[in-house]
Structure 1
Amino acid sequence: MSWARIMAPLSGGTGDRETLAAAAMLAAPFEAEVAGVYTPADVADVMPWMGEGFLGGVHTTALESLREAAAVGERHAQAAMDGCGYARKSFISLKTPVWAGLSAEARLSDVVVFTNDPPRGRGPLAESFQQIVVDEQRPVFIAREGAALGGVMAVAWDGGKEASRAARLAVPLLQQASRVVILAGVKARKFDPARLQGYFTARGVASDVQLLEEPGEIGPCLIKACAKLSANILVAGAFGHPRLQEFIFGGTTRTLLGADHPSLFLSH
């Protein structure tokens, strides 16, 4: 198994260089393409709420300001792309309707890379993160400080659909690890983690199993276990419950997104 295209959504902001560095790190073992996709605010999304209450001149001025901001952002994103030392790269600037272009680019990518802010609902790419993970159901890599391939990688496992999908899609990543540890909750679904071990073994990934016997919510247990293992990356399913329920009650996904370490490979 291999990856051929790693997508990095770009906002034209200061985080673009970090996003591209993480994308290049993931792409390098596979000689994959890094696609930097500039994702501006879409003028078409703003126009409906301007409505009839805006005078013609004000309306025009506001739209022109948005277009100018998008043009400046594109130049900054292009500069970040030019500064990325990875050889096999491409730059795409999305036009209205931006959501449709973003969906198309994500569907043609193996992994989409973000830094910490968008998954936490901060910054101009926050909605893009939700669109890619939940609506398009594409796997994402959330790069955090010190993100690196190799070393220990952990896989959160409960036998569910989201966890299974994440584990399957992460195989090329796990093949780069020095050690893979399957973290399984003792109160999770009755699905033997040895079955996942067998799946990994057939694909050249040796793994160990560690049962999470500590009481309490699974999210903090996963974070604590990763810290003890010095894991660089945690592979996990995302949003196993309806999004409204996740929002109201917290949920494991929100706990993982709120932590500072490790980096995350998520799939919904």
Structure 2
Amino acid sequence: MSWARIMAPLSGGKDDEAVLAAAVALAEPFGAEVAGAYTPADVADLMPWFGEGFMGGVQATALESLQEAAAIGEAQAKSAMDATSYAKKRFLSLQTPVWAQLSAEGRLSDVVVFASEAACGRGPLAESFQQMVAEEQRPVLVARPRLSVTGCILVAWDGGKEASRAARLATPLLEKASRVVIASAPKGGGRTCDPARLQDYYAQRGLKTEVELLPTGGSGKDVGHALLEAASRVQAAVLVAGAFGHPRLQEFIFGGTTRTLLNSDGPSLFLSH
């Protein structure tokens, strides 16, 4: 298995260089293309707020300001892309309808890379991150310092649909890792899971893995902290996990494993819903 295209949504802000660096680190071992997609605020989404007379007075000035900001952001995003010393790259400037274009590009990418700020719900790409994970169900990498494709990778396993999808989609990444550890919390998901089953799945694909059982009280928060402790213990560079295993409203209100992982300062996250 291999990856051929890694996409990095860009905002024209301070995180673009780090996101592109992570995308290159992910793409390089596969010889994959890095697609940097400038993703501005969509003016069309704001039109209903302007009212019927939006082309006059204050509304027209606001529209012009948004267009100017988008042009400046595009120039900054392109500058970050030009400064990236990776030969196999492509710059995309998304136009209205922005989300429709971003989702279409995401469907034709193997992994979508976001900064930790967006994953935590902050900044201009926060909504794009949530939509890409929960609605488009694309695998995403939340890029953080110490990202290493060839380092140790921890795979969170509870036997559920989301964890299974993440574990399968991450296989090309695991093939590049120096060490793969399956971290299982048998009581964490309220279901029966056997990490040996996943271990056998990987073995059939030539991957040697280790298993570590996590002591938890069973809540999502407990599981999240146990996973982060295990990641620190094995010095994992990436943590692979299923995202939003419960309804997102429940995740928002009660926390949950996903929110614990996103709000941590732990390793980079490979997530799939």
Q: How does the TM-score come out when normalised to structure 1?
A: 0.98
Number of aligned positions between the proteins: 268
- Say which of 192, 195, 209 aligns to 2:194: 192
Partner of 1:231: 236
The CA deviation at 1:101 is 0.4
Cα offset for 1:52? 3.9
Identical aligned residues as a percent:
67
Distance 1:162 1:5 in 2: 22
SS in structure 2 at match of 1:117: helix
Equivalent residue for 1:22? 22
Deviation of 1:223 after TM superposition, in Å, equals: 0.5
Matches within 5 A, 1:25-104: 25-52=25-52, 56-104=56-104
2:115 is matched with which residue?
A: 115
Normalising to structure 2: TM-score of the pair? 0.96
Query: Could you tell me how far 1:76 is from its partner in structure 2?
Result: 0.4
> 1:102 & 1:121 partners in 2: Cα distance?
18
Q: Partner amino acid for 1:248?
A: I
2:202 counterpart letter in structure 1 = F
The equivalent residue for 2:254 is 249
Cα shift at 1:55: 7.3
Could you tell me which residue of structure 2 aligns to residue 207 of structure 1?
Answer: 209
Q: Which amino acid aligns with 2:268?
A: S
Long gaps (5+) in structure 2: none
- SS of residue matched to 1:29: helix
Q: Which amino acid aligns with 1:139?
A: P
Q: CA deviation at 1:58?
A: 1.4
* Residue of structure 2 in register with 1:222 after alignment: 227
Residue 272 of structure 2: aligned partner: 267
The CA distance in 2 between the partners of 1:87 and 1:124, in whole Å, is 28
Structure 1 unaligned segments of length 5 or more: list them. none
Return 217-226 or 46-55, whichever deviates more.
Answer: 46-55
Partners in 2 of 1:201 and 1:49 — Cα distance? 55
Counterpart Cα distance in 1 of 2:135 and 2:55:
36
SS at match of 1:235: strand
Q: Which moved more, 1:248-257 or 1:195-204?
A: 195-204
